Amino acid sequence: MAEPERALTPESLRYNTDGLVAVVAQQYDTGEVLMVAWMDAEAVRRTLASGEVTYWSRSRAEYWRKGATSGNTQRLVELRHDCDGDALLALVDQTGPACHTGTRSCFDPGRRIAGAGAEQPVSGPAQ
Amino acid sequence: MAEPERALTPESLRYNTDGLVAVVAQQYDTGEVLMVAWMDAEAVRRTLASGEVTYWSRSRAEYWRKGATSGNTQRLVELRHDCDGDALLALVDQTGPACHTGTRSCFDPGRRIAGAGAEQPVSGPAQ
């Protein structure tokens, strides 16, 4: 370890000015990144206490237990924070599609950014 | 596909009120989530044009080509947006540790959130 670290709690994370941290949900066994959403301290507590991942919906301004209506729940396997405590990685077991569009991941491979360089192979034959 | 989608460009992403989108960097071949950082439209353009992942540093208020000083660069393999265009997934090839603390990932396994439920196994013998 490069430096000693103390364990962070739901209360000691570094929330933004809206009281939120970004959360990356990753399927625990395949490594697939499923989605990015937000939690406040209460959502972190609910997630840890229930084992069901619960976000704060910025658009609806309410707690959102993932899959509460769709059935596509996220069972929590492990919740980690990053080095500066302002982002979380939720290792989850996702039932069904994580994305409201019906794709497994919100970062479906079809959703590439279009722009300069995007069409160029990363490594390929010199031209 | 559940709905038709049009390709997003660096200009048509949904930036927050600070002009930023959250970016998840993932090692392209192992699936390891390395870090979460931020890009503005110019950082997205620079990343696509150069193939070297470039963030906007909120603390230093400047562009930050990952590894420019440390040598621990992130070569871009693919850049995807999520379903609502306000988060990015950068599939990268990370040289060395991604984290300034020296760990490979900023979400080092030692950085678990402490709190209710965190010590309980997800599935285990009934007690």
B positions 39-98 inside 8 Å of A (CB): 44-45, 48-51, 75-84, 87-89
CA distance B44 to B39: 6
CB of B20 closer than 8 Å to CB of B10: no
CA distance A63 to A69: 13
Query: How many residues are listed for chain A in this entry?
Result: 127
CA distance A126 to A123: 9
Using the beta-carbon criterion (under 8 Å), do A2 and B102 form an inter-chain contact?
Answer: yes
DSSP letter, residue B40: -
Q: Is residue B11 assigned to a domain?
A: no
**Cα angle A32, B54, A5; round to 5:** 65
CA distance B23 to B74: 13
Q: Is residue B74 assigned to a domain?
A: yes
Q: Is residue A8 assigned to a domain?
A: no
The predicted-structure confidence for A8-57, as pLDDT tens digits, reads as follows: 999 999 999 999 999 999 999 999 999 999 999 999 999 999 999 999 99
Domain count, chain B: 1
CA distance B105 to B101: 9
What is residue B83's predicted lDDT score, i.e. its pLDDT? 96
Residue with token string 């794709």 = A103
Q: Is residue B105 assigned to a domain?
A: no
Phi–psi pair at B41, nearest 5 degrees: -60, -40
The domain that holds A87 is classified in CATH as: 3.10.20.810
CB of A32 closer than 8 Å to CB of A26: yes
- The pTM for the full model equals 0.88
Q: Is residue B102 assigned to a domain?
A: no
Phi–psi pair at B36, nearest 5 degrees: -125, 130
Q: In terms of DSSP bridges, do strands B21-27 and A33-39 run parallel, antiparallel, or are they unpaired?
A: unpaired
Q: Is B86 annotated as a binding residue?
A: yes
The predicted-structure confidence for A71-82, as pLDDT tens digits, reads as follows: 999 999 999 999
Using the beta-carbon criterion (under 8 Å), do A35 and B10 form an inter-chain contact?
Answer: no
ipTM for the whole complex: 0.88
Boundaries of domain holding A25: 21-94
Q: Is residue A13 assigned to a domain?
A: no
Using the beta-carbon criterion (under 8 Å), do B2 and A110 form an inter-chain contact?
Answer: no
